[in-house]
Chains A and B, each alone.
Chain A
Amino acid sequence: MNDPIQIALAGNPNSGKTTLFNHLTGARQHVGNYPGVTVDKKEGTLTHGNCPINIVDLPGTYSLTAYSVEELVARDYLVNERPDVVVNIVDASNLERNLYLTCQFLELGVPMVIALNMVDVAEKRGIRINTKTLSSLLGVPVIPIVARTGKGVEALLESVESVSPGQEHLEILLRYGSDIDQTLNTIVPLIKENNLLTDLYPARWTGLKILENDEQIIDKVMLTDRSMGQQLVDRGEKLTQHLQSTVDAYPEAVIADHRYGFIKSILRQGVMTLTFDEDRLYTSDKIDKVVTNRVVGPLIMAAILLGLYSFTFNYSTFLVDWLDAFFALVSEVVDSSMSEGPLKSMLISGVIDGVGGVLGFVPIIMFMFFGIAVLEDSGYLARVAFMMDRIFHFFGLHGSSVMPFIVSGGIAGGCAVPGVMATRTLRSPKERIATLLTVPFMNCGAKLPVLTLIISAFFSAHQARYMFLATVAAWLVALLAAKFLRMTVLKGESTPFVMELPPYRFPTLRGLFIHTWERTWQYIKKAGTVILGISILLWAMMTYPGLPEDRTAEFDTKREQITASSSPDSKEQLLQIDALQAETALRNSYAGRIGIGLESISQFAGFDWRTNIALVGGFAAKEVIVSTLGTAYSLGEVDPESTTSLSARLAKDKNWNPVVALSVLAFIMFYAPCFVTVVAIAKEAGTWKWAFFSMGFNTILAFTMSVGIFQIGTLLGFA
């Protein structure tokens, strides 16, 4: 067998790149990361004839500047990995803009084949493209294809094979106007003579990038040869001044305009003929007339988002229940087949609960990503961003932030884990971090039983109103926190919004399943290991050190006494002893000691040590707050679904009153996200820094609010 051919797929977003990639590789693909950044690296393989081919799907970009991570990743890959062929997917129905990227591949001098995609759509729109002329004018093969059906893909692969053996291709030199061309003519020889990065880039390209004021290339040049680099940059500045005074424009703008000039000149040479009126309304525009209408649009959007939400959280329930039942069964088997001891306790409370916790989210994540893939692939998600941007932009976020917020519990009952993962559709780095740090403020499904418990204990008269207020408060706090973050740690200009509304398309089932599966699998793989570790750690904190032997003996003696007395309610008394022992053990554990130790601070917010332990436990999963409170109030096992005894107990406890309840409610809603979310934040942000930040920032924010509520409430005499 021959060495595999390395192909890189490159092209604009929405040009059908991923569709082609899925068509070529099918299930033989996997997702990784480019080193140091959170951009997905999709790789796949196929065999054509007896020729093995490796494909990398580069991130979709409109350009190859140094302004976005995706573009840097794409161009670094092309330069460092030197794929045998770059397959440039070009949307035939939007040739002009797509060829802008093609121009930059020509400048970079990479071996290239153009896959002219969606020729069927173009033809329907009355656009005929003469591929032969286009090919000879650009000096590269142009193959018409329809990626959705696979038409023309065979010819494309043949063309790829014929290009691959490193053959010299016709060099097309772009012109950028006399000023820039002259400057290039003086600096390119200097770059060549001094061997400045000539092992990596063509000299003319390096020169062009210096004139474009490209930070990455200028830094590299400076590192290689400082004095020469300075000389080149000075030349660039001279040119900038000249262009500023004569045409009032920056070199990069002039260069871009000339690329378009080049494209227009090509299209005019008989490459493209239009048979219909260009202003005709296409189906997509007709749909948009209704769907993005200023009045009807938001209503339709609300309906669709509500639909996605109920689809995700209702239809995944049966799988969640199955998984719960399965893990309960495993727990039981372990419980009955192993002898009592720390190993058994760790297996049940640490490992099985931990793994169950990770896998318990899988159905929700799968359904949510399926729903989002439908919205994304059909083109609707871009419309949501368009309609919501005005509001979210005000808070320093982006129109696309709405989806993560909704999924996380913007409609009470979501989950922050898929919410954090849904921020992946956001391409603006600062807005994205701000979104993923604030979505955990939403009222997720696990917080609901805790909120219900406290509300029913103290505000049972206005239960519905309080639940509604909790949702409004969550939105308010999240958006204001986002604004605060964007004004402080995430300060900076907002990323340009300018965005394409792609034509509506029917998503392909294959694409949907691949997208859903790859994201779900990433979650299982990445989250699994870390979460298991933290789960065991939390278990250990709530278990160790156990009660000293004399205390255990005391409880045992009491049990024996009760059994010996054989009174009619001995069973009940035994349960009470068990509960009391559990409470004492919890109090004695590391978590308990932390809870007691924290009382000196937490008293300002009105929390006693029992609440503190429950809040520490809530870091494992928010619903654990209920069961831990149960143990701390020695009520034995409390089922989060039915908490009447616990809420009655809280209502008459002297340490609790409505002001404390309100303060605890605020804290639970806004303090550190559960650790599964924290792990998800670390993975999505690409660094643990933001994960730790979210734990610290949220806890401080929540505590400040609680102290405020408790102190003011007590002062006003509501306590």
Chain B
Amino acid sequence: MNLRQMRNNQSAVISSLNIGGSLGLRLREMGLVPGTEIMVTGRAPLYDPVKLRINGQTLTLRNNEADHIEVRVQGESK
């Protein structure tokens, strides 16, 4: 399952990033690396970009960028 398919308030652990190049590096720089826990906290009015919590900060990324991030869903809160 990838990040785009996650529902709001669902948390997951990043299992892999299937992208290299500048986007791949950019995602990693922002802390989106395998083993990190994330939680989807919302989406923009038109459902894109997606907003998530990671390492106590909030990141946003477009759905087509979220496609490259494979996750293992952990659970749902609230």
Contact = CB atoms under 8 A, between A and B. Distances in A.
A125 B77 CA distance: 20
Interface string A98-138: 00100000000000000000000000010100000000000
A496 B28 contact: no
A164 to B, nearest CB: 29
A65 interface: yes
B55 A390 contact: no
Contacts of B58: 284-285, 288, 500-501, 503
Nearest to A393: B62
B39 A279 contact: yes
Nearest to A295: B45
Contact of B31 (A96, A288, A391, A503): A96
Contacts of A285: 41, 53, 58
B55 A256 contact: no
A311 interface: no
21 contacts: A62-B29, A62-B30, A94-B55, A94-B56, A96-B55, A252-B20, A253-B17, A253-B20, A256-B28, A256-B33, A257-B33, A260-B28, A279-B11, A294-B42, A390-B45, A497-B49, A497-B61, A498-B61, A500-B30, A500-B58, A500-B60
A401 B42 CA distance: 22
A64 to B, nearest CB: 10
Nearest to B17: A253
B43 interface: yes
A497 B25 contact: no
A292 interface: yes
Nearest to A127: B56
Nearest to A390: B46
Nearest to B57: A94
B60 A499 contact: yes
Given A97-B55, A292-B51, A498-B65, A389 B44 contact: yes
B31 A97 contact: yes
Nearest to A278: B56
A297 interface: yes
A544 interface: no
Interface in B26-78: 26-34, 39, 41-49, 51, 53, 55-62, 65, 77
A670 B53 CA distance: 43
Nearest to B34: A257
A139 interface: no
Contacts of B46: 390-391
In this complex, the member of B11, B51, B57 whose beta carbon has the largest number of chain A beta carbons within 10 angstroms is B57
A65 B30 contact: no
Secondary structure at the B interface, as helix, strand, loop or mixed, is: mixed
Contact of A386 (B23, B31, B51, B65): B51
A93 interface: yes
Interface extent on A, as a size class? 35 or more
A387 B51 CA distance: 10
A250 B61 contact: no
A298 B46 CA distance: 10
A468 interface: no
Given A256-B33, A390-B49, A67 B22 contact: yes
A719 interface: no
Interface of A: 62-63, 65, 67, 93-94, 96-97, 100, 125, 127, 249-250, 252-253, 256-257, 260, 278-279, 284-285, 288-289, 292-295, 297-298, 382, 386-387, 389-391, 393, 399, 496-501, 503
A500 B29 contact: no
B30 A297 contact: no
A132 to B, nearest CB: 23
A250 B59 contact: no
B34 A499 contact: no
Contacts of A386: 44, 49, 51, 60
A391 B32 CA distance: 25
Nearest to B46: A390
Q: Could you say which of A96, A285, A293 has the most chain B C-beta atoms within 10 Å of its C-beta?
A: A96
A12 to B, nearest CB: 9
Contacts of B55: 94, 96-97
A456 B35 CA distance: 66
B27 A294 contact: no
A63 B61 contact: no
Given A249-B20, A501-B59, A496 B42 contact: no
A213 B56 CA distance: 32
Given A252-B20, A498-B61, A501-B58, A387 B29 contact: no
Specify which of A63, A65, A393, A496 lies most central, judged by the most chain B CB atoms within 10 Å of its CB: A496
Given A389-B44, A497-B61, A497-B62, A256 B30 contact: no
Contacts of A125: 56
Given A97-B31, A390-B47, A498 B20 contact: no
A93 B24 CA distance: 24
Nearest to B50: A386
Given A97-B30, A500-B57, A253 B24 contact: yes
Nearest to B37: A278
A498 B48 contact: no
B10 to A, nearest CB: 13
Given A278-B56, A285-B58, A499-B59, A256 B29 contact: yes
A708 to B, nearest CB: 32
Contacts of A284: 58
A496 B27 contact: yes
Contacts of B61: 496-499
Nearest to A126: B56
Contacts of B27: 496, 498
Contacts of B29: 62-63, 97, 100, 256
A292 B62 contact: no
Contacts of B51: 288, 292, 386, 501
Given A292-B44, A498-B23, A499-B59, 10 more contacts: A94-B57, A249-B20, A250-B20, A256-B28, A288-B42, A288-B51, A294-B42, A294-B43, A496-B65, A499-B60
